[in-house]
Amino acid sequence: MQNHKRPPASLLFIFGGSGDLNFRKLSPALYNLFIDEWMPEKFDIVGIGRTAFTDDAYRAKLLDGINQFSRRKEEKNGKWVAFSQHISYLQMDAENEEEYKNIAEIVKTKEQQYGEHPNVIFYMAVAPQLVPDIAKKLGPLNICADTKCTRIVVEKPFGHDLQSAHELNKLLMSMFDEEQIYRIDHYLGKETVQNILALRFANALFEPIWNRNYIDHVQITAAETVGVEGRGGYYETSGALRDMVQNHILQLVCMIGMETPVSFDANEIRNKKVDVLNAIRKISSEEVHSYAVRGQYSDGWMKGEKVPGYRQEKSVSADSNIDTFAAVKFYIDNWRWQDVPFYVRTGKRLHDKTTIINIQFKPAPHYAFPAEAAETWRPNRLTISVQPEMDIRLRFQAKRPGQSMTLNPVDMIFSYKDAYDGNEPEAYETLLLDVMEGNATLFMRSDQVEAAWKIIMPILDAWESRPPVDFPNYAPDSWGPEDAEALIARDGKNWITLPPLHQE
């Protein structure tokens, strides 16, 4: 029996209940919370969708998802039968206002059954363009007026640009208070990303050197080997900059760049993060080409397999100019970071699946050792591997054993796999639990989302007004277009990729 306090009674409505996100991520996450006894004593999950399902058929579909995608499969745990009793399905046309009454009915019934008013959570696992309409129809049900208990969870992308994000914020805030709106960025739920806060603020060691006096530059890489995986329709309206940089990567920049929080209060953390976004230097339209690089993958070979180019993917236009790769150099204009470049890159069909953050320190101010001792001397570097490896490596110089004084770089490594049992919760588990508990620390506030859009708008506008002349410009299984190498090489640096610690 776990010794922790469970969240209060909760009733979850999942719009997009028959969709992929629920199938692959949400249901497995809720199931794992159930196994770990983190689900409330009283809870129900209602999947909402247009497709017809009986409750049993719906449960069978979710079980299939769990067996495919959950970190723990059903056979080993045998908790499915008990968990599935809490799941039902509501077939409904989300465009028909009349049908929303069914939701109000379910809330009333459950309230009587539980003998208390539960948290009512509306999870928008639907295409982004449907969110405003659904939210508008939830408003008149009057369930939302209960600011203590009602919550709406909105997936990314939050808006398509600054203006639409602003309008969506306005609409949601006309019906919900900010405290009721949970804008998800799943990167913030990852263990390794949360650990950045522990590393920075639970250790006295790093803070004194965490600034422009000691740090030369920061690099963030979020690389994927997959292509658009049948999501061409969505990706055609997005691209790498919108899909990854506006949210996940800028959030990582915030975690690395933020000032020390006074407490772990949700608003305190978010204030410190939004300060970073507000301090990021705005790139003018004329400068975009020297700060940002875009790319699109061609067809070619990926680990011995022939793969199509982006323009040949399903639902993608044959002359699409959408970016499947983006690299940007940011500056944070404040006392801590002035003139320290933050290089970020992300892309599909790259050589490795890896998300890593490198903090590159400046060289030691004076080499006291003889020149031959220092031939392989490298400045210190702190590497945070977010995934799939989960580790932190600190590179420092050591004397190579032997009679001569030869130095070479070595790594001090903390690996999650070696230190713990390797069964960390998935990001969605952490985030769903936070929603039920009413803890918004790891969620995006309206001003954060808009500040992030403001940063990338000049790049998006410049790219839209000047179509690329060289697309597709990188081969699968590469590290993206040559221009991305040039972006960082111009400053006398290069992208860092590390060998994995654990070879399978």
Decide whether 71 or 378 has the Cβ nearer to ligand BG6: 71
Decide whether 6 or 156 has the Cβ nearer to ligand BG6: 156
Decide whether 155 or 216 has the Cβ nearer to ligand BG6: 155
SS3 501: coil
Report in angstroms how near the CB of residue 80 gets to ligand BG6 at its nearest.
25
Measure the CA dihedral 419/219/249/270, to 10°. 80
Report in angstroms how near the CB of residue 257 gets to ligand BG6 at its nearest.
20
At 375, the amino acid letter reads E
In 3D space, the residue among 128, 122, 118 whose CA is nearest the CA of residue 153 turns out to be: 122
Cα–Cα distance between 124 and 484 in angstroms, integer? Answer: 36
In 3D space, the residue among 364, 309, 352, 362 whose CA is nearest the CA of residue 475 turns out to be: 309
> Cα separations (Å) of 56 from 53, 90, 94?
8, 12, 22
Cα–Cα distance between 327 and 329 in angstroms, integer? Answer: 7
Which residue lies nearest ligand BG6, judged by its C-beta?
Answer: 243
Report in angstroms how near the CB of residue 186 gets to ligand BG6 at its nearest.
6
Report in angstroms how near the CB of residue 300 gets to ligand BG6 at its nearest.
20
For residues 243-259, one letter each, b for 16 or more C-beta atoms within 10 angstroms of the residue's C-beta and e for the rest, the string is: bbbbbbbbbbbbbbbbe
354 φψ region: left (φ > 0), alpha (ψ -120 to 50), beta (else): beta
Report in angstroms how near the CB of residue 449 gets to ligand BG6 at its nearest.
14
Report in angstroms how near the CB of residue 400 gets to ligand BG6 at its nearest.
37
Q: Given the rule CB under 6 A, which residues bind ligand BG6?
A: 156, 224, 243, 355
Decide whether 84 or 355 has the Cβ nearer to ligand BG6: 355
Report in angstroms how near the CB of residue 233 gets to ligand BG6 at its nearest.
13
Burial class (CB in 10 A: 0-12, 13-18, 19+), 213: exposed
Decide whether 156 or 329 has the Cβ nearer to ligand BG6: 156
Decide whether 124 or 149 has the Cβ nearer to ligand BG6: 124
At 499, the amino acid letter reads P
Catalytic residues: 248
Cis amide bond preceding 128, omega within 30: no
Which parts of 38-191 are beta strand (E)?
A: 43-49, 87-91, 119-124, 150-154, 181-183
**For residue 206, which phi and psi values (nearest 5 degrees)?**
-85, -35
Decide whether 355 or 380 has the Cβ nearer to ligand BG6: 355
Structure-token pair, residue 193: 């990303």
